Amino acid sequence: MNDSSAQLARGWIEAWIRMDLEWLRERLAPDFVHTSPFGRLEGRDAYLATVEPMARKSVQRLDIKQIIATGDQAAVWFENQTPRGTVPTCDWIRTRDGLITEIQSFYDSEKVREVLSPDEQRELDGSR
């Protein structure tokens, strides 16, 4: 795999649009780290096991607006259509050797919190 950071950023969002867990397993590094307004999750498998069922509940559609990339980093600006409305989001993506190693997600979590239970929200912070 030799995807550029821009291709990986686009693929990241498109995989969630399709709920393509195989693509995610292949392109997220085993030691992948994700940080969001909910907290921090470490490890590809733990991340996918935690986030996938909640994404099916809280994500109705994702629309990519812009991708900016340089070297091993990219930013993807997109809109997350939730059952409670649109959530503008920016993911800062770091890559290495054709894999996504880290993502920091920036968004107002209010509409997502309205869809997820308090227990589900706590699960999204694996650092606790």
What's residue 2's pLDDT? 53
From 13, 11, 14, 29, select the one nearest 97 (Cα to Cα).
29
First vs last Cα of the chain: how many Å apart? 34
pLDDT digit string (tens) for 3-21? 799 999 999 999 999 999 9
From 30, 20, 12, 18, select the one nearest 69 (Cα to Cα).
12
Which region holds residue 111: left if phi is over 0, alpha if psi is between -120 and 50, else beta?
alpha
Q: Tell me the whole-structure pTM to 2 decimals.
A: 0.87
- 19 three-state secondary structure: coil
What's residue 83's pLDDT? 87
The encoded tokens of residue 91 equal: 């993911």
The letter for the amino acid at 16 is W
Domains delineated in the chain: 5-119 (3.10.450.50)
What's residue 41's pLDDT? 94
What's residue 79's pLDDT? 96
The encoded tokens of residue 89 equal: 């989001």
Residues in the chain predicted with pLDDT less than 50, given as ranges, are 1, 128
Distance of CA 110 to the CA centre of its chain: 17
